[in-house]
Structures are given as C-alpha cells and as structure tokens.
Amino acid sequence: MTPRRWLITGCSAGLGRVLAEAVLDRGDQAVVTARDPRSLEDLVAAHPGTCRAVALDVTREGDAAAAISVAEQEFGGLDVLVNNAGQGMVGAIEEGSPEEYRPLFETNVFGVIETTRAALPALRKAGGGRIVMMSSGAGIAGSAGSGYYNATKFAVEGLSEALAQEVAPFGIATIIVEPGPFRTEFLGRSMRMAAAEMPEYAGTAGGRRRYRAEHDGRQPGDPRKAIDVLLRAVDAEHPPLHLPLGAGVYAAARRKFAGFLQTMDEWEPLASRTAFEDA
C-alpha cells in the first residue's frame, strides 16, 4: 500500500498519541500536532524522515492552515485528517457555567469545524482521502452528568453525517469513530469538572462524578486494539461512516435504538397524521 500522509490533532497523549505511533511505525508520513509540540519531540527523533511536529491549538485562528501547509510542503499533500483533539466535562446542566462549557464547544465543535474547513482543499487536491472524526459513545446516547460533552459530540455526529454526503463525490470518505472507555488520560487531565456540585443531583449527575473518580486509569479498553481497528477502517475500500469501538458502546447503542423504535411504533399512528387534509 502506498504510504499515506496524515495530519492528526491532539497527539500529546491518549488515542491521538497511540494513533500517531502506529501510523509512523507502519511507514506512513504524519504531521503530528499538540498545543506544545515539545511533547512530540520523541516521535520526530524516532521517525526523522516521516514525522513533523507542529504547534496546533484548534481554537486559535490560523493554526490549522499552518499545519496543513507543513503537510503539503514536507510530504507533498494530505490524505488523512484526524480530528482527535478534544476535552470532556462532567456536571449536571444546572451545575455548569458558561466559563466551563463554552471552551468545551470551542475545542470539540468549532475547532473541528475550522480544522476540517482548512484541510478540505488539500484533500480535494489529493483526489480522495479520509476524514476521521473522533466522536464518542457519548455522541450516540446522552447520560446524566455528561450533557455538555454529549452536546458537543452530538454536534460532531450531525456535522460529520452531512460532511460525508458533501465530500463523497471527491472520493473522500468520512469515518465517525465512537470510542467507549479506553485506558487513556481522558478521565484525568482531559476532563473538566463543573465547580458547582449540587446535592440535588447527587443521585443522577453525581454518578458520573463518582465514575470518573473510580475508573480513571482502570478503563477496560486497550487503546492499541482500538487503533488497530481504526486503521483497518481507514484502509478499507469502503470505510464505515460510523465506527463504535468497544463492546459497551455497542450495547448502549442497541439499548437506545430499541427504545427509539419502540417509541416510534407506539406513537407513529398518531404523530404521523400531521399533514393538511389536501396534502
């Protein structure tokens, strides 16, 4: 297989770091990015001919375009964009403050939009490629205590489904990756906690706070196995639009879809009769 040219956001840790290592180890070329590129110096040292480290804050205007320029200048183009940079937030909707949840949207939603917009000309010029959107199992089903994070990932899902239709004629496939809990730093330094903790929500959103405290570093998912599956999807002739990762995500999705279908069956006879009589 011809080596691919990648740009991956959020490579300092977690799944982004594991993906960057796997891509470089198999001989592909990659522009790896982080807010502080010094955290990526070991990757460049290990792969001096195929790796370039670039400072990229997805919320800062111009950073994404500059990183894409590096891919074009150093490697001659771009084949795969991975929107991986992101952060989480735990707290009930009433507990959250604008100072806490607005930055979440700036990174997880608007940062993804601007990075994707900046990369599309290069991907179209390459005559095809892949856009990998790192969503989450939280982008499939909402849960108490994760509402703000759910909202950002639901936005990524809708954006990506529309994008997939828009770029398919150019030979560009979109893959929405929906990981469950994998053993990374996500529940630690990448997780924002609402400062306000209201006793009224101890039995609902409070459960998510306890989950974070009890499962940080003990998540069941193996990041390397997740990346193996992701690479298979990227390499596939016909990649999946949705790629849930982890048995728990599949179980949660099936519970949601089963409940959704049951509600549709119960309410469709009444709720579908809403057109004008002459329509």
Instruction: Determine how many CB atoms are found less than 10 A away from the CB of residue 265.
Output: 9
The answer to whether 136 is a known catalytic residue is no
- Known catalytic residue at 272: no
CB within 8 A of 69, min separation 6: which ones?
Answer: none
Catalytic residue among 101, 146, 148, 149: 149
Query: One-letter amino acid identity for 224?
Result: R
Give residue 92's identity as a one-letter amino acid code. A
Q: Give me the catalytic one of 12, 101, 148, 153.
A: 153
Question: Which tokens hold the place of 13?
Answer: 């840790």
**Catalytic option among 12, 101, 135, 201:** 135
The residues assigned a catalytic role are 135, 149, 153
